[in-house]
Amino acid sequence: MATILVTGGTGTLGRPTVAQLREAGHEVRVFSRRSGAGLVTGDLVTNNGLRDALAGVNTVIHLATAGNGSDIAAAHNLFPAARRAGVTHLVLISIVGIEQIPLPYYTDKVTIEADLVKSGLKYTILRATQFHTLVAGIFAAQRRLPVLFSPRMPVQPIDPREVAARLVELAAGAPCGRVPDIGGPEQNFVTHFGAQWVKAAGMKRRIVSVRLPGTTFAGYATGKALVPGPRYGHTTFSEYFAEHRPEQR
């Protein structure tokens, strides 16, 4: 089995990815700014610890993201370092619809994808829709309010464990460029999922649908964050939160 370095291996997607890689028999290193058992400590933005982490690694799964504008700098350090280390396959997670939705975080993803293509590395790029947890976060952030506001736009949330399963499958294979996007089993408006989240949390809240201005939300509203065609994911939003009860605080 290959030695695989996972960046962002302690995050929402990283944890199930690392667990499933190990279940499949791979030797896994987790690169993180944290320190602890099973972690290789370092920082992609400062380049600290990266060379040692990549020594002897065949495959990198790049999941790390800060969402604060530093992701491009992290990629600029990782890609050439991986090439110098002799990495033969870099798997990158990305997001559905990033060219059509001018959110700064998304435009950074467009840049990172382009940088990987030009890096000289053999690569695979997988785009996925928003996780169930991200959609739930819209309502969790408002849980102390008497009314919950829901942006009027369709989404297609997916279980991060199912994204992890696809990443593990891709990492075990040959580099294949950009692969088909994946999304969850349901396409519906955020309000629909909000009603399920409220029920799972055992709360009583009215949900008010609101239309938000601007080109970013216009992209969402016109379905640019959805995946046409057959669904990849199987776990529905309500099934996920039947297993992971939302916080009520």
| pLDDT band at residue 248 under the 50/70/90 scheme | very low
What angle do the packed helices 71-84 and 104-118 form, to 10 degrees?
20
Q: What is the mean pLDDT of residues 12-35?
A: 95
| pLDDT band at residue 133 under the 50/70/90 scheme | very high
Q: What is the mean pLDDT of residues 118-125?
A: 98
Q: Give the pLDDT score at 69.
A: 83
53, containing H or E segment:
helix 50-54
Q: What is the mean pLDDT of residues 54-64?
A: 97
| pLDDT band at residue 247 under the 50/70/90 scheme | low
Burial of 36 (0-12, 13-18, 19+ CB in 10 A): exposed
User: What Å distances lie between residue 203 and 68, 113, 123, 195, 249, CA to CA?
Assistant: 32, 41, 45, 10, 11
Domains of the chain in start order, with CATH, are 3-243 (3.40.50.720)
pTM score: 0.94
Contacts of 36 (CB under 8 A, 6+ apart): none
User: What Å distances lie between residue 79 and 72, 104, 114, 164, 186, CA to CA?
Assistant: 11, 21, 12, 21, 35
